[in-house]
Amino acid sequence: MKKWPVYFKERLWVGNKDGDVGIATLWTPKENIVENLSLEVKKRVTVVGQLYSLRGGEYVFRNIWANPGIRYVIVTGTDLNHSSEILLNLKTRNGKMKEILDKIPGIYQKIFWGGVNMIDMRGKSIKDINHKIIGLKKLGKLAKGKMFPENRLQKNEFMSESSVFRVEGETIGETWLQILRLITKFGRKIPRIHVYGGHERMLLNVAAVITGENIKEPKIWPYFEFGKEELKKYFINFFTPKRGGEAYTYGERLFAYEVGTEIIDQVNEMTKKMLNFNYNKGALAVLWQPAIDNFPIRKPWRTPCLTLVQGMCLDNNFFLTAYFRSNDMFGAWPQNAFALRKLQSEIAQKLGKKAGDLTIISSCAFIDETDLAVAEKKVVGNNQMFCKFEPRGSLLVEVKNENIVVTQIDKVGKTLSEFEVNGNEPKAAEKMIDQLLRDDVISRIDHAIDVGVQIGRAEEAVKLGLIFEQDKNLKSSNNNK
């Protein structure tokens, strides 16, 4: 096939297309492996690329079927979230991989797993990898090359505001579903930078607020792409101050930030500032290093997506705000949110505070085009998750004599404010709604729609002499019998 690799060509190193070996480097930069392959080995290697997630296994499958001369896949590198299991673990292949490849006939999956040899070289040296490849027996093609229909989301873009989309949830999982719904519906289709290729759906400035996730007992929802064990492993990488062979790690930038010859633990400095003064507005950590990140002076050239975290104490709570310049909302946002919640909780404990809201601002919030269909499926399959409590309090709508009365009540039933309009006045419901809007007593659209309906029914009851009760059908009064 002339145009091969079919998928993610810009993200892969392509060698001898007539070779019979592919290498999956997991989270280790592919360049670290390629530059250490011997010339003899490179003659046999067709492709080298990273495998960040279980879902990436689909494109290993599709690319090999498009070039079935590849009969071996070497799996090596650092495995931060068990992505290797999609290739090496029989249980995962029979479960998650079948789910991912649900549109592809089982016979082709059976041929693939029976004919492509997966070789586990995790933890082995590059010398061992070179030696292993040289010793592999040369096999013929698996079968005739084949392409399969893609499970891509075909959806029009809907009109929306250009910037700032706010979502809120008690847990990370609930908040994530709202983000997926926003991007799959309103995201703008834009091209990805050449090193990645393809397209994505993107929104500008998605502000997500998580109010109650308990990091000691994190809620792992069934629609997540990872489990507790994968999350624990992700934490190790996020919090380690060692960079290793990576271009950067969040842990390195947070806990071992380089300034000349000095190493700064920025999280410790944040904590000290707030211990001295709870309301210090300079308690922040910057993960961007202009001298390194603006210019490709260190290979491989990759730059942090998380660029700033800032803390603030209010009363007995410690709030944390994080800013991402770019954020993969499907493949990375939940794990990053959990890691930030853990960071917030640890700082809060040192300050003798409770963890307040975690706010994550994603400047360029995107979902890769290859993940859109799966994201949409998760949204549709969990529609019941979108009914939420109004954070500014409940609104009780009543008719007293001929007046429409709306009372704002907090969670414990305390009256916060009260609004009143004569129901016989022209456009009485509209006048009441104007009062509510001026006082900013509603934050959720679903709540606003419901309250508007109730107020309209209350006006109708007054003018027709009927009995009004919130959320119930209008009834005739004794005077109308």
pLDDT digits (tens, 9 = 90+) for 49-74: 999 888 888 899 999 999 999 999 99
Clarify whether residues 288 and 360 are in a common domain: yes
In a domain, 122, yes or no: yes
Lowest-confidence segment of 2-11, 147-156, 317-326, 353-362 by average pLDDT = 147-156
In a domain, 157, yes or no: no
**Residues in contact with 235: Cβ distance below 8 Å, sequence separation at least 6, in sequence order:** 338, 339, 342
Q: How high is the pLDDT of residue 323? A: 98
Interval 194-250: pLDDT, tens: 666 778 999 999 999 999 999 999 999 999 988 898 899 889 889 989 876 666 789
- Which tokens belong to 129? 């990898």
Q: How high is the pLDDT of residue 294? A: 83
Confidence of residue 78 (pLDDT cuts 50, 70, 90): confident
Interval 322-340: pLDDT, tens: 999 999 999 999 999 999 9
Query: Beta-carbon neighbour count of residue 360 at 10 Å?
Result: 27
Query: Beta-carbon neighbour count of residue 426 at 10 Å?
Result: 7
Look at the chain and count its residues.
481
Strand-pairing partners, residue 206, are 165, 362
Instruction: Tell me how far apart the alpha carbons of residues 30 and 26 are, in angstroms, rounded to a whole number.
Output: 8
**Residues in contact with 15: Cβ distance below 8 Å, sequence separation at least 6, in sequence order:** 42, 43, 45, 46, 47, 48
197 Rama sector, left if φ>0, alpha if ψ -120 to 50, beta otherwise: left
Confidence of residue 479 (pLDDT cuts 50, 70, 90): low
Clarify whether residues 77 and 194 are in a common domain: no
Q: Which of 330, 353, 386 is the last residue of a domain?
A: 386
Mean pLDDT of the 277-291 span: 93
Q: How high is the pLDDT of residue 107? A: 93
Q: How high is the pLDDT of residue 478? A: 65
Clarify whether residues 214 and 276 are in a common domain: yes
Clarify whether residues 404 and 370 are in a common domain: no
**Residues in contact with 117: Cβ distance below 8 Å, sequence separation at least 6, in sequence order:** 71, 72, 73
**Residues in contact with 197: Cβ distance below 8 Å, sequence separation at least 6, in sequence order:** 8, 9, 10, 11
Q: What is the mean pLDDT of the chain?
A: 90
Inform me whether the pLDDT recorded for 41 exceeds 90: yes
Mean pLDDT of the 248-261 span: 89
Q: Which of 134, 153, 178 is the last residue of a domain?
A: 134
Q: How high is the pLDDT of residue 29? A: 86
Clarify whether residues 185 and 293 are in a common domain: yes
For the chain, the first-to-last Cα distance in angstroms comes to 82
Which CATH number characterizes residue 67's domain? 3.40.50
Clarify whether residues 210 and 342 are in a common domain: yes
Q: Is 246 exposed, middle or buried (0-12, 13-18, 19+ CB in 10 A)?
A: middle
| Identity of the amino acid at 240 | T
Under 8 Å between Cβ of 249 and 243: yes
Instruction: Tell me how far apart the alpha carbons of residues 122 and 90 are, in angstroms, rounded to a whole number.
Output: 17
Q: How high is the pLDDT of residue 52? A: 84
Query: Beta-carbon neighbour count of residue 87 at 10 Å?
Result: 24
Percent over 70 (pLDDT), the chain: 94
Q: Which of 270, 365, 273 is nearest to 321 (CA)?
A: 270
Clarify whether residues 422 and 340 are in a common domain: no
Is 238 strand, coil or helix?
helix
Helix (H) / strand (E) containing 252? helix 250-255
Q: Which of 332, 276, 326, 323 is nearest to 302 (CA)?
A: 326
Which CATH number characterizes residue 200's domain? 3.30.572.10
Q: Which of 386, 419, 452 is the last residue of a domain?
A: 386
- Ranges of beta strands (E only) in 170-243 are 188-191, 199-210
Query: String of b and e for 261-273 (b: at least 16 CB within 10 Å)?
Result: eeeeebbeebbeb
Inform me whether the pLDDT recorded for 480 exceeds 60: no
In a domain, 423, yes or no: yes
In a domain, 158, yes or no: no
Confidence of residue 157 (pLDDT cuts 50, 70, 90): low
In a domain, 147, yes or no: no
Number of structural domains the chain divides into: 3
Q: How high is the pLDDT of residue 411? A: 79
Confidence of residue 301 (pLDDT cuts 50, 70, 90): low
**Residues in contact with 442: Cβ distance below 8 Å, sequence separation at least 6, in sequence order:** 390, 392, 395, 436, 448, 451
Domain hosting residue 169, numbered range: 163-386
Inform me whether the pLDDT recorded for 252 exceeds 60: yes
Instruction: Tell me how far apart the alpha carbons of residues 347 and 349 are, in angstroms, rounded to a whole number.
Output: 5
Inform me whether the pLDDT recorded for 481 exceeds 70: no
Confidence of residue 297 (pLDDT cuts 50, 70, 90): low
Clarify whether residues 382 and 400 are in a common domain: no
Query: Beta-carbon neighbour count of residue 407 at 10 Å?
Result: 16
Which CATH number characterizes residue 408's domain? 3.30.390
Q: Across 95-99, 381-385, 427-431, which has the greatest mean pLDDT?
A: 427-431
Helix segments in 315-370, DSSP class H: 333-351
Inform me whether the pLDDT recorded for 298 exceeds 60: no
Q: How high is the pLDDT of residue 97? A: 82
Strand-pairing partners, residue 399, are 404
Clarify whether residues 45 and 114 are in a common domain: yes
Q: How high is the pLDDT of residue 102? A: 81
Instruction: Tell me how far apart the alpha carbons of residues 141 and 73 are, in angstroms, rounded to a whole number.
Output: 14
- Which tokens belong to 378? 């998760």
Q: How high is the pLDDT of residue 89? A: 86
In a domain, 70, yes or no: yes
**Residues in contact with 308: Cβ distance below 8 Å, sequence separation at least 6, in sequence order:** 284, 285, 286, 287, 288, 322, 323
Q: How high is the pLDDT of residue 153? A: 59
Whole-model pTM? 0.72
R_g of the chain computed on alpha carbons:
28
Q: Which of 143, 126, 148 is nearest to 41 (CA)?
A: 126
Lowest-confidence segment of 40-54, 133-147, 295-309, 448-462 by average pLDDT = 295-309
Instruction: Sheet with 117-120: list strands edge to edge.
Output: 13-14, 45-49, 21-24, 72-75, 117-120
Phi, psi for 194 (deg, rounded to 5): -55, -30
Under 8 Å between Cβ of 287 and 308: yes
Clarify whether residues 172 and 225 are in a common domain: yes
Lowest-confidence segment of 19-23, 36-40, 186-190, 193-197 by average pLDDT = 193-197
Clarify whether residues 179 and 129 are in a common domain: no
In a domain, 4, yes or no: no
In a domain, 150, yes or no: no
Q: How high is the pLDDT of residue 100? A: 82
Inform me whether the pLDDT recorded for 347 exceeds 60: yes
- Which tokens belong to 102? 């649900």
Clarify whether residues 377 and 398 are in a common domain: no
Q: Is the dihedral of CA 118, 51, 57, 89 positive or negative?
A: positive
